[in-house]
Amino acid sequence: MSQVAVVQMNSQADVLYNMGEARLMVREAAECGAQLVLLPEMFLTLDGSQFQALADDDGWVKQLSQWAREFGIWLVAGAVPQNSPDGDPRVRSACLVFDHRGHQVARYDKIHLFDVDVGDTQGSYKESRRFAPGNELVVIDSPVGKLGLSICFDVRFPEQYQALTAAGAEVLLVPAAFTHKTGQVHWQTLLTARAVENQCYIVAADQCGWHDDKRQTWGHSCVIDPWGKVLTMAG
């Protein structure tokens, strides 16, 4: 039986600290027998002022490759800043997939950007100020089945997942940094709906807790089967 792991994090401004925490949990997941490990959205940091510098530095990408090779797993870096291939001065929110040899085998750029006003402490989220949208769907073979890649706000757009399933996806990955306010009412409902309507497994890794004095995320990372049964869920 295939085993997957979701990593739930409370990423702060310190990228090196976040990388250390991520590595510890990736190693633990591998030691527990996971063949594929999913990290949450922006696990490096949610501090937008650092995104461009991270996109310009491939050192941490090499580290992720090394982890995959060292632990013999498929590693999915939920969403990280990457430069736009079309010359747009904004970065893209990119999901990177590394195989067990450490080779980067896929990249998906987030299509639906979170430009939303939310009645929480932060109030307004305008991802398009820093991010350019992607425009391509990605399905890739893996040891746990065909993966359909997505990121966070994508989960509110069922047609994207229908297209991924039509392209052969069997496991839908949803790395996220879902707000606490919307997460408590919509997170599990949306994930369950995507699982049931597409008859696919959902593997969702979310950020959790307070990241600064304004931003709070929901957590409750989970794996849901095609019948909508929650197989495992974090707090």
CA 72 to the chain's CA centroid: 20
Rounded to 5 degrees, what angle do the CA atoms 152, 95, 42 make?
60
Decide: 205 and 178 in contact? Cβ < 8 Å: no
Decide: 198 and 170 in contact? Cβ < 8 Å: no
Q: What is the DSSP letter of 164?
A: H
The C-alpha atoms of residue 159 and residue 176 are separated, in whole angstroms, by 18
Rounded to 5 degrees, what angle do the CA atoms 217, 223, 227 make?
125
Give the strand pairing for 222-224 and 216-218.
unpaired
Residue 70: strand, helix, or coil: helix
Q: Which of 31, 70, 126, 152 is catalytic?
A: 152
Tokens representing 159 are 């047609």
Q: At how many degrees (to 10) do helices 59-71 and 15-31 cross?
A: 20
DSSP per-residue codes, 53-91: HHHH--HHHHHHHHHHHHHTSEEEEEEEEEE-TT--SSE
Going by C-alpha positions, the residue among 208, 214, 45 that lies closest to residue 122 is 214
- Reply yes or no on whether 62 is catalytic: no
- Reply yes or no on whether 32 is catalytic: no
Q: Which of 110, 127, 208, 222 is catalytic?
A: 110
- Reply yes or no on whether 110 is catalytic: yes
- Residues forming the active site: 41, 110, 152
